[in-house]
Amino acid sequence: MLIVFGSINLDIAVQVPHLPKPGETVLGGGALISPGGKGANQAHAAALYGMPTTMFGAVGRDAFAAPATANLRAAAVNIDGVCVCDNPTGIATIGVTQTGENAIVVSPGANLCAIGDAVSDAKLLTARVLLMQLEVQAQECFRLARRAKEQGCLVILNASPLADEMQLDARALDIVIVNKLELAELCARQEIFGIDPIDQARLLAKALEVDVLVTLGEEGAFLMQSNGQTTACQAMAVTAVDTTGAGDTFAGVFAAAMAAGEPIRRSMQAASVAAGIACTRPGAQIAQPTRTEVDAGLSQLWPQ
């Protein structure tokens, strides 16, 4: 089983001719309102991949709570651990260009009420993997991560978004997933200055004694282990329509495959295919592929 602790939002995405500059108002096109939040996106992707998944987080007592969790219910994600609080349900506003680029602003709302102690030790004992992100309070993530490691879970953190001057509690983590910008920011905070992403990841993994999985968009992904061993994975070649949630799709499917006992390389390949397919469709959760679609992509790129 996979446990996901993280955010649940309602996304409001607007097609724009270009992303606005500071102080600029851009007249957009059509709007898409759909379930989102990094935690919910990742849990949904994992469930579509076929992994029994339990989601822990929080929503408000408002009209946004039901639509924000609708896809989780439809995908059979266990949301018994999602609490209801007085803060409004989280909202993300997203501008998306014709080339699939996006800019996202998140109002956390109820996500700040998510408590790691809601995940019992008994529940952690039944899970192979704990997956987290940083749209909830970081201290709650790390407190939960420490307990999860004590119970034998593989602990994966998608270190996004990075709050100002936040430091990772790397002792509580096994794998950190970042994109190229997040990798550079984490290195700067550790006063690490590599010459390229591979060098940065090598130095960061050694300094923190944690494996670092770096996503590079169309350039693929690579895992840098703390011992210096590297595993690379190419991206699926696609024409991007909307990259919103592609990183969440990658993280969710990677965690699901790891929870299923798949080797690291195969888990990365499945995640890469899933993220690529998601980029060809608008939205976040609604763009994510089924296990059948992922397996078809795998058989084309990496037949076994």
Q: How far is Cα 33 from Cα 14, in angstroms, rounded to an integer?
A: 9
Catalytic residue among 117, 169, 248, 295: 248
Closest listed residue to residue 92, CA positions, set 168, 186, 160 = 160
Q: In the structure encoding, which two tokens stand for residue 262, read together?
A: 């798949």
248 is catalytic: yes
Closest CA to 69 of 94, 43, 87, 50: 43
Token pair listed for 145: 């991560």
Please, which residues have CB within 8 angstroms of residue 109's CB and are 6 or more apart in sequence?
60, 87, 88, 89, 90, 91
- In DSSP notation, 152-185 reads T-EEEEE--S--TT----GGG-SEEEEEHHHHHH
What is the amino acid identity at position 21? K
Rounded distance between C-alpha atoms, residue 259 and residue 242, angstroms: 28
Cβ-Cβ contacts under 8 Å for 253 (sequence gap 6 or more): 45, 46, 49, 267, 270, 271, 274, 275, 294
DSSP, res 117? G
Q: Which residues are catalytic?
A: 248
